[in-house]
Structure 1
Amino acid sequence: MNKLTAVAMVSAAVVLAACGKGEEAKPQEQAAAPAPVVATSIVVGLDDNFPPMGFRDEKNELVGFDIDMAREAAKRLGIEVEFKPIDWSAKEAELNSKRVDVLWNGLTITEERKKNIGFTDPYMENHQIIIVAAASPIQGKADLAGKTVGAQEGSSAVDAIKKEADVAAGFKELKTFGDNITALMDLGTGRLDAVVVDEVVGRYYVAKRADEFRVLEDHFGTEDYGVGVRKDDTELLTKINDALNGMKQDGSAGKIATQWFGADIIK
């Protein structure tokens, strides 16, 4: 090997080493962040014995006003919807444990519930009405003193009654039931003197048995219905709100209401 060749080899080695060091010093590019997961379906928790909001028909299929509203909203969002009957008295636990994604079944918006649930804008106004037997002497809330009154356990009817503590204190008993239908059945058999229930449910039921029951003019307050989601699920909340607002504006929500209530009672 002559001197010129040796010098050339050393120079090449130095150049290669310098290149290697430069490459090692170059900061590595950060990996691209994974794309957000887009929800393709939602699970709606409901009480499947809550006509006309959500219940089973003679074919044991889930039907109702809120069922139709949820299906229409899901269609607009381009997602699938699954309906899951739950213990309504444990609805917040079902939602926050992620066994369901949405509570959509005549859910009353209250300040207490807002602590644990995110709500859409109201889509319907409701009252907690009092139903008695057609022949009952009861004419108003004052006449409930000494009487046995029924309501659904965990419902806003119970909350509304408790807000009027002076009236509730006069009851012989406030008896709670797993669902409104059972309470109304007990009213029909005389085991209860009155039932406090959501207006949409009560009037639907009374209309079918107008000769047996009547609705008092007195009630336990006015409230709004909304769709409930987990408080941290803000994206889903916004999407459902947008879908509901669109349904109100183009008349779709009113059409669904008219099919179930005979009138557009959308708020």
Structure 2
Amino acid sequence: MKKGKKIAAIVLTSVLGFSLLSGCGSKDTVSAEAQFTKDKTLVVGIDNTYPPMEYVDKNGKTVGFDIEFAKAIGEKMGRKVEFVNSSWDAIFAGLDADKYDLVISSVGVNKDRQEQLALSNPYLANQQVIISSKSGKQIKSVEELAGKKVGVQVSTTSNDTCNYYLSKGIDFDLREYDGMTEAFVALEGGSVDCVVTDLVVGEYYVHKNTNKFVKTCDKLTNEPIAVAAKKSNQALIDKINPILEELSKDGTMTKISKKVFGKDLTQNIDTTLKGYDE
């Protein structure tokens, strides 16, 4: 989330647990003095179609959990934060091309991403869940996806999860949408029977639309959310991790989480990765 989200080839190796460390010894590693795309500015890539993590509100302002979180990081670093919007399927290519320093956009940690990106310690709990229409069929297991129309955001780990179960013989009609907003519009309108998405997104839509949506199946995967950088910018991730600890200890993370989700999803994060085939 995304979102847990899928990536092309960028690089990272990582150790499970609260410490996700990249490989060392790369000749491409950037020095601590050359970590940023702009002097005194932290440039952050986002996909602003993913409420409540990052989205454009009715006033045209980009808001959400990750926006406040990124600004808090910038404040601790003494740097202005600049956001660059990207479609999700292109966001990591932009990172690799140095269009921004970090992706702070609900990046779910999974084994593939541990091999492809430099990731921070997780800062938010997350998993893949099924959201059903309250007035429709309550889909309570992966097996019950059979014969249904299922909505996902394209190029996300939700998409990956659904494609995995399709490959295992559970036959359903997978509908891919460019943004999560479109997937939930489809669910509300009856174009799909359910949506597979990140817990953080599903909880938000259910909370905001208690008469329309309900979470009917959870923990298809476990994918805590982290800050992402390309491998050659591991020095920046090494600066981010102590800041995450500070933001947790001083209550900033809890405050943002309760404001956005109505609960604290930033403490006691389960960092044991669970994939769809485990």
TM-score bracket, normalised by the shorter chain, equals 0.7 to 0.9
1:1-267 map, 5 Å: 36-37=33-34, 39=36, 40-140=40-140, 141-165=142-166, 169-266=169-266, 267=269
TM-score normalized by structure 1?
0.82
Answer whether contact 2:118 2:237 (CA < 8 A) is retained.
yes
Structure 1 residues 129-163: Cα deviation after superposition (integer angstroms, max 9, x where no partner): 11111122334222211111110011111122334
Q: Structure 1 residues 192 and 139 mapped into 2: Cα distance closer, same or farther (>3 Å)?
A: closer
Instruction: Out of 236-245 and 129-138, give the one that drifted further.
Output: 129-138
Q: CA deviation at 1:113?
A: 1.8
**Which amino acid in 2 is paired with 1:187?**
L
Gaps of 5+ in 1: 1-34
Q: SS of the residue aligned with 1:227? A: strand
Distance (Å, rounded) in 1 between the aligned partners of 2:170 and 2:35: 53
CA distance in 2 between partners of 1:224 and 1:60 (Å): 29
**Secondary structure class of the residue paired with 1:112:** helix
Note the C-alpha offset of 1:79.
1.0
SS in structure 1 opposite 2:231? coil
**Secondary structure in 2 aligned to 1:258?**
helix
Q: Which has the higher contact order (CA 8 A, sep 6+)?
A: 2
**Inter-partner Cα distance in structure 1 for 2:124 and 2:251:** 14
Do the aligned partners of 1:148 and 1:171 also contact (CA within 8 Å) in 2? no
| Greater per-residue helix proportion | 1
Deviations for 1:185-204, whole angstroms, at most 9, x for unmatched residues?
01111111111011111111
Segments of structure 2 that go 5 or more residues without pairing to the other structure are: 1-31, 270-278
Larger Cα-atom Rg: 1
TM-align CA RMSD: 1.8
Identity fraction in percent:
31
SS of equivalent to 1:150:
strand
CA contact (8 A) 2:166 2:172 kept: no
